């Protein structure tokens, strides 16, 4: 694997899988504006690679935290206007992950708190080790979630559970996170976590890249929208699939009783 980017966010490539690591372990990978900008840049760089990247594993360095939230030390100096800008940047980072054309798996090994959980929520899936912990503790600091927690947490765990977690600020362990639907798969340790995420991306990579990208676009754009709008997006996306070579190949392969040979 080749490290292509300097800290605080590293990109490593391993075949069609890219591993993006937030590398600020001394501050439990807390999200300063610099880290958020580096995350945005990392996903922009990977987007430029198109179909060469079939999936991304997003993780944190150090074995203690995925990301322990926005950088509280840096926030202590901010004015209200500065804080609004920081929230915009956090939302931009979350949007960059959501808009990435291939699946992004948050591989959580340790704390995913506040802005850290919010970044994980922007990923397609959250996988976690048994020693992980999750929460939106902003109210303990006199704050509210600022990088998408009020938007994406209710979608994943339901409005009542999201409100309870945001109002109490309490931390939940992996058992509760799995039961809540927040964590899709749990693993005993970091090595099996990364291997499990890789296995999922390998399974996705066997499919049509354009179809997976289209499915992600429809799922993302439709999230939280009324049924009529969500249905319109799916109808449009279904039609768009018929403009692709992969759709012609996939359907022809089925009818000819052979394996498909997808492009890209
Ligand atoms: N920002 C800045 N630094 C942080 C940090 C954060 N969010 N979280 C941890 N750190 C730093 C600590 O200050 C400490 O640094 P020093 O060694 O220089 O003192 C180092 O990381 C290790 O942390 P602890 O000594 O606190 O480790 P611990 O094991 O005792 O506790 C923890 C771990 C429970 C995660 C604790 O660090 C903690 O509660 N962190 C803050 C979690 C939090 O409140 N996150 C939400 C932030 S607000 C937010 O994210 C708003 C938003 O929605 C955008």
CATH of the domain at 230: 1.10.12
Tell me the sheet residues that pair with 112.
Answer: 67, 134
Pocket test of ligand 1: the residue of 68, 109, 143 to mutate, having most ligand atoms within 8 Å of its CB, is 68
Within a domain: 244: yes
Enclosing domain of residue 218: 209-255
**Which pLDDT does position 196 carry in this prediction?**
98
- pLDDT for residue 1: 47
Backbone angles phi, psi at 6, to 5 degrees: -75, 170
In order of 11, 152, 169, the CA distances from 47 in angstroms are 13, 23, 35
- pLDDT, one tens digit per residue, over 92-138 is 999 999 999 999 999 999 999 999 999 999 999 999 999 999 999 99
Three-state secondary-structure class, residue 170: coil
Query: Looking at the domain assignment, is residue 263 inside a domain?
Result: no
* Ligand 1: centre distance to CA 142 (Å): 15
71 lies in the same domain as 193: yes
Instruction: Tell me which residues of the chain have a pLDDT lower than 50.
Output: 1-5
Which residues are tagged catalytic?
118, 138
Tell me how far apart the alpha carbons of residues 225 and 44 are, in angstroms, rounded to a whole number.
26
pLDDT at 4: 42
Q: Domain holding 117: CATH number?
A: 3.90.226.10
Examine the domain organization and report whether 234 and 144 are in the same domain.
Answer: no
- Please answer whether residues 181 and 156 qualify as being in contact, where contact means their C-beta atoms are separated by less than 8 angstroms: yes
Question: Could you give the CA distance from residue 88 to residue 202 in angstroms, rounded to a whole number?
Answer: 33
Number of domains in the chain: 2
Q: Indicate whether 78 belongs to any domain.
A: yes
- The answer to whether position 262 is within a domain reads no
Q: Which of 171, 190, 205 represents a domain boundary (last residue)?
A: 205
Question: Does 110 reside within a domain?
Answer: yes
110 shares a domain with 237: no
Reported as type and span, the H/E element at residue 113 is strand 111-113
Q: What is the pTM of this model?
A: 0.97
Ligand 1 atom nearest to CA at 118: 53
pLDDT (0 to 100) of residue 264? 65
**Same domain for 128 and 230?**
no
Please give the number of the atom of ligand 1 that sits closest to the Cα of 64. 29
Name every protein residue with a CB atom under 6 angstroms from any ligand 1 atom.
27-28, 30, 68-73, 90, 111, 113-115, 118, 137-138, 141, 143, 145-147, 149
Q: Which atom of ligand 1 is nearest to the CA of 111?
A: 35
User: CA 138 to CA 115: how far, in whole Å?
Assistant: 9
Residues 86 and 109 in one domain: yes
**Does 13 share its domain with 120?**
yes
260 found inside a domain? no
The answer to the question of residue 227 being in a domain is yes
């Amino acid at each position: 694997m080749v490290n292509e980017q300097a800290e605080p966010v590293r990109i490593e490539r391993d075949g069609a899988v890219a591993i993006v690591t937030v590398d600020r372990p001394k501050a439990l990978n807390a999200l300063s504006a610099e880290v958020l900008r580096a995350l945005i840049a990392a996903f922009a760089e990977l987007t430029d690679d198109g179909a060469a990247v079939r999936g991304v594993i997003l993780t944190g360095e150090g074995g203690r935290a995925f990301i322990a939230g926005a950088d509280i030390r840096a926030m202590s100096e901010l004015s209200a206007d500065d804080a609004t800008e920081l929230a915009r940047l956090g939302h931009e980072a979350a949007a960059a992950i959501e808009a990435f054309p291939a699946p992004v798996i948050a591989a959580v090994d340790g704390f995913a708190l506040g802005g850290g959980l919010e970044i994980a929520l922007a990923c397609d899936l959250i996988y976690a080790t048994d020693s992980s912990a999750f929460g939106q503790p902003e109210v303990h600091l006199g704050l509210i979630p600022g990088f998408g927690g009020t938007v994406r947490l209710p979608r994943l765990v339901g409005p009542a559970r999201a409100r309870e977690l945001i109002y109490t600020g309490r931390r939940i362990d992996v058992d509760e996170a799995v039961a809540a639907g927040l964590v899709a798969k749990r693993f005993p340790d970091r090595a099996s976590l990364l291997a499990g995420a890789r296995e999922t991306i390998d399974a996705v990579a066997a499919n049509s890249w354009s179809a997976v990208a289209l499915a992600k676009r429809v799922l993302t754009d439709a999230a939280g929208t009324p049924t009529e709008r969500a249905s319109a997006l799916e109808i449009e996306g279904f039609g768009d699939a018929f403009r692709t070579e992969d759709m012609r190949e996939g359907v022809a392969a089925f009818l000819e009783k052979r394996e498909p040979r997808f492009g890209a």
